[in-house]
Structure 1
Amino acid sequence: MIKPWRLIYPPSPVSILPASSFQLPDLDSVELPPNLIDLDLTTNRLSKLDSRIAILFNLRKLSFRQNLFNDAAIEPISSWESLTGLEELILRDNKLTKIPDVGIFKKLLVFDVSFNEITSLQGLSKASSTIKELYVSKNEVTKMEEIDHLHELQILELGSNRLRVMENLQNFTKLQELWLGRNRIKVINLCGLSCIKKISLQSNRLTSMIGLDA
């Protein structure tokens, strides 16, 4: 008889729990130590949030990358007040069609919703202005909107979407990397970005490189 998979912990307190690539349909067989600061659930088959995560007061990093979460399944996270100290939230490669409400996370530094089916950046206006890295690549986004308050941004990834215009970048005085490859952009407009070090614009519809000297 095959015994169900169960994570075995060392005697010392566990603060980092890597539970990736197990193809788990749920977390019923996984113990979640109360002092966790980093929970990595990458590459499983999760489609429902485990309510035990909501009481991990010390959690700083949470990754649901490459799972099966849709909009309704991920919605409860927006009311998990115990996780207000979360600094990194990874929802990359799921089944989302919209930006989830992450307004409760006032210390968020990294937010990743790449490789979903998101059609609009609407909802990002609720996101904390503390975010330094925002990843929304490989979606269906058509407009750069609701991001102008993110003045701490250092990395912005919007590659492989349906963007036509570079806009609402004027407040990004700390932005160092801008990734906009594989869109439908025709004109370069850096909006006065002063700290930019890397910019990706390959596979767009550019007819001129005018604007890169801005």
Structure 2
Amino acid sequence: MEVEDESSNSILDLTSYQLHDLEGIEFPSSLIELDLTANRLSTLDSRIGLLSQLKKLSLRQNLFDDDGIQLISQWTQLSGIQELVIRDNKLMKIPDVSIFKSLLVFDVSFNEISSLNGVSKVSSTLKELYVSKNNVTKIDELDHLHQLLILELGSNRLRIMEKIETLTNLQELWLGRNRIRTVNLCGLKCIRKISLQSNRLTSMTGFQDCVALEELYLSHNGISKMEGLSTLVNLRVLDVSSNKLTGVEGIENLTRLEDLWLNDNQIESLDGFDLAVAGSKDKLTTIYLEHNPCVEYCFWQVKSSNYKDTLRQFFPNIEQIDSDIFS
């Protein structure tokens, strides 16, 4: 089978060829990247294990189960691999990847993994770990990943934020669509992005020490009060839509805020709103307020969206209010 290769035989992209096996495919020994995304593979071709220069291997969206991927743990010649993607397969557990001593990116999202058991064997060089859309119930075995920058555990069955205090260099934490009730960030002072959307939070407290935080996503929870945000002076994006907020407060110090999502709450009045967001008056470019009682009242009683005119006057650099985009 002839397949077009790129970059002088250093990249081989076999995406969406619907291959059931790799018989007839030639693997140049100079391969650095091999992409087998969106095929019908269920077992590994042993020839891949001889590609000693390989740095990136994607097995995404295939039919690999635990037995079908097991051979990878014996590929000593691939010890220099840096990016391994086994996303969207049929794995029930974290595969043994301890042989890859320089691993930087490891993705096993969209499988059927119920535990992080096995992560303790992953190289401490790892910078990005993706285990979203699985059945994980507990955060553990991360203690040694001191260089980790991104941790994605969204769409699992987590109830508690725990055992992340050693991840002192973590910059992005994605925990959306879990069952978490309380924030526990153990003072992660380098973190810049946090997502806890679609959990069971009733309070915003717990972010106070995350002073480098730039983006905070808390939509679709049960939060009734804005609090604990005054120290987050670097915050640029705040999404608290689809909660139970009745007012806007505690964000006067957020002078760098650019995006503020407040839609789908229970905010009764815009009285004092200008004072609450005074700190970000010159920075704010996007604000969502639709589907709040205060906005519905303005529209039905006055038959206009005059609250938008008021907001445009107050925020000189506003570019978007709800679905309206201004040039």
Does TM-score exceed 0.5, indicating one fold? Answer: yes
User: Number of paired residues?
Assistant: 209
> How well do the aligned residues superpose, as a CA RMSD in angstroms?
1.1
Provide the rounded CA distance (Å) in 1 between the counterparts of 2:28 and 2:172.
36
Say whether residues 1:132 and 2:157 are aligned partners: no
Aligned twin of 2:59: 64
1:98-148 Cα deviation digits (max 9, x unpaired): 000011101000000000000000011111000000000000000001111
Distance 1:143 1:83 in 2: 31
User: Could you tell me the TM-score, scaled by structure 1's length?
Assistant: 0.95
State the match for 1:105 in structure 2. 100
CA deviation after TM superposition for structure 1 residue 213, in Å:
1.2
2:144 is aligned to 149
Given that 2:178 and 2:199 are in contact with CA atoms closer than 8 Å, whether structure 1 keeps it comes out as yes
User: Which of 33, 47, 51 in structure 1 is aligned with 2:46?
Assistant: 51
Q: TM-score, normalised by structure 2?
A: 0.63
Match of 2:225 in 1: none
**Alpha-carbon shift at residue 29 of structure 1 (Å):** 2.6
Kept in 2, the 8 Å contact 1:70–1:97? The answer is yes
Query: Given residue 17 of structure 1, which amino acid in structure 2 is its aligned partner?
Result: L
Q: Which amino acid aligns with 1:52?
A: R
**Alignment check: 8 A CA contact 2:5 2:13 kept:** no
Select 1:34's aligned residue among 9, 29, 38. 29
Instruction: Tell me which residue corresponds to 2:3.
Output: 7
Counterpart CA distance in 1 for 2:113 and 2:200 is 22
> Once the 2 structures are TM-superposed, how far is the Cα of residue 9 of structure 1 from its aligned partner?
4.8
Relative CO higher for 1 or 2, CA cutoff 8 Å, sep ≥ 6? 1
The alignment status of 1:212 with 2:207, answered yes or no, reads yes
- Match 1:168 to one of 150, 163, 168: 163
Q: Is the 8 A contact 1:7 1:29 kept in 2?
A: no
Look up the match of 2:77. 82
Query: 1:8: Cα distance to partner?
Result: 4.2
In the aligned structure 2, how far is the partner of 1:139 from the partner of 1:173?
25
Name the structure where helix makes up a greater proportion of residues: 2
The 8 Å contact of residues 5 and 11 in structure 2, kept in 1 or not, is answered as: no
Conserved 8 A contact 1:166-1:185: yes
The answer as to whether partners of 2:81 and 2:102 remain within 8 angstroms in 1 is yes
Report if aligned partners of 1:74, 1:100 keep a CA contact under 8 Å in 2.
yes
Deviation of residue 93 (structure 1)? 0.1
Larger radius of gyration: 2
- Which 4+ runs in 1 deviate beyond 4 A? none
Tell me the amino acid that sits aligned with residue 164 of structure 1.
R
Question: Which runs of 5 or more structure 1 residues have no equivalent in the other structure?
Answer: none
- Can you list the C-alpha shifts for 1:150-192, whole angstroms capped at 9, x where unaligned? 1100000000000011011111111100000000000001111
The equivalent residue for 1:159 is 154
SS of 2:180's equivalent?
A: coil
